[in-house]
Chains A and B, each alone.
Chain A
Amino acid sequence: MNKQVIFIYGMGFLVVLLSLFVGLNGGKNILPWHLNEIDKVILFDLRMPKIITAITVGMCLAIAGHLFQLLLANPLAEPSLLGISGIASLSVILGAAGLISASFDFSVFYMFLFALCGAALAISLIFFIAKKLGSFASLAIILAGICITTITSAISSWFIFYSNNDQLRVFSVWMLGSFEHVTVKSAVVMLLVTAAITWFLKRRSRLLNFVYLGDRTATLHGVNVKRLRIECLSVAALLTAIAVSLGGIVAFVGLLVPHACRMMFGNDNKYLLTKLCFVGAAVMVFIEFLSRSLMSTNLPLALVSASLGGPLFIWVLFKHFAHRGQM
């Protein structure tokens, strides 16, 4: 393990400790060696579920972002590019509206179920359109995804247009991301599911590596690119559904973390997937920490992630890609 990896792991560990014990403006600073009953409630009932959720969401977004970028051969791809997170969140909102109006308890499980249905619908439509376009190549899938994004955006706009002020606020806050509704149990279950998916992908890391060389070269080395693309994009859609059901739409993590990891640790998926999980989790925990400790009220996650991610992305571009034109 080289010094860079140890440094990154150390920073990740520090971020988790910071998030657990420091409150800044939005909460109480806790001394780990002097815990009273209130501190225990804050640590284990309030902060711990959010940190576990942040770890899960960070892992999901980082891996999904990397899969989308790799399989679509597009450095700007992220879970929202194909409209998957859009449809997933829309179906969660529609499900919530339907179940709440029927006086039904709307837990994370149902949110995941609706997000999963939305993501499955989106990816099925994308594959259907791509098939009609004649191929499962990255360009056909991106074009299909743009169609889905446009339709989702239109449906969302219709809902916003016909909602009253309260509904509009609930809708907007959900779109901006929050971990308030998640319990420890549901967060741990989702974390285990995410870990299992990561293991599944690690077993395909050798095949995924060939995709770096282009469809043609991958095929020449015996890789069934079409099957791999369908399989792994479906997995990426599942990861997106988990992230959306736990935290709504969180911008930039799925775009930036894969780029940063590939730059720091190289492109080999055998090692990259684990590091993506770690860095994605650390970044998301830090975003969650800032969202609840910067101000006296909790800030939406997407607001913090976009505010940090935009300038950071410009810095990365100027530092690593100046005068190169291509990524």
Chain B
Amino acid sequence: MTVQVCLNIANLNVTPYLGFSVGIANLQLTPGFYHLLGANGAGKSTLLDCIAGLYCETYDALSIANDVYSSLSLQQLARRRAYLTQQNQAHFAITGYEMLAICFDSDKKHLKEALSHHPVISGLEVENLLEKPLQFLSGGERQRCYLCAALLGCDEILKPEASLLLLDEPFTGLDIKHTLWLVNYLQQISERICVLASHHEVNFALKSQNPCLLMKNGSLIGEFKAGRDIKIAHLVDCFELNSAQISYENNAYYQISWN
């Protein structure tokens, strides 16, 4: 049985600013939930931007579902991948539903009716939040609205062509309830599409059975089939930690399970 390749990277090299570059020699991602880990400034967001298509000089190095980026228009690419960026900036008093109506080129009223029972809306509990201007929401509430847009952007029915979901720090600002819902939802959709999430929840990634990618100084320094395969030496190298800071035991009195 041939495995569907969602994303293929070959000889990617980009220099977003002088003195810093991101280079990936070879990487193939199939459907699954991938954790992209690394210290601040490792190049995770730049890599996600490249994969999202924001750097046109890298188009020849990237292909999505066997189509090279340079053969696709930005509109075609936009239908095939969804991206939650780290910094979103909606102008004026744009409401969440207005944002979704723009993204899906639909009428606000019809979209609201069509999405009223969608699992993403109910799971993230954003039905009321989407009625309000995004600028007036708290950081976590706003993140839930933007997450909602990204998750709907790769929905099987709304965007059947989508095969890639990129998430840049999706857990930032989320409370534990919504974090757990998100993890569960991402696990579900990762059976169908490739989910690549850059985040700093290292303990979660280490406990998971999902593949992990470690980045340092703009390069991939490790590719693991599961978080449990990551060794102390890798963490020490990637995050410049002291090995004594990494323990096998959890000393917390209570722990909420990620599973």
Contact = CB atoms under 8 A, between A and B. Distances in A.
Contact of B98 (A73, A212, A216): A212
Contact of A266 (B53, B85, B98): B98
Nearest to A270: B107
Contacts of A209: 102
- The A interface is mostly helix, strand or loop, or mixed, namely loop
Interface stretch (A217-225, A230-238, A277-285): A217-225
B58 to A, nearest CB: 14
B94 A221 contact: no
A206 B107 CA distance: 11
Interface in A62-107: 69-70, 73, 75
B89 A210 contact: no
Contact of A324 (B76, B92, B99, B136): B136
Contact of B85 (A216, A222, A267, A268): A216
Interface residues on B, range: 20 to 34
A327 interface: yes
Interface string B66-90: 0000000111111000010101111
B88 A327 contact: no
B91 A221 contact: no
Interface string B163-182: 00000000000000000000
Contacts of B53: 220
Contact of B103 (A69, A221, A263, A324): A221
Contacts of B105: 206
B135 interface: yes
Nearest to A214: B89
Interface in B90-110: 90-94, 98-99, 101-103, 105, 108
Interface of A: 69-70, 73, 75, 206, 209-214, 216-217, 219-224, 262-263, 266-268, 324, 326-327
Interface of B: 52-54, 73-78, 83, 85, 87-94, 98-99, 101-103, 105, 108, 135-136
Given A214-B88, A216-B85, A327-B92, 14 more contacts: A209-B102, A210-B102, A213-B94, A214-B90, A216-B54, A219-B74, A221-B74, A224-B74, A266-B98, A267-B92, A267-B93, A267-B94, A268-B101, A324-B136
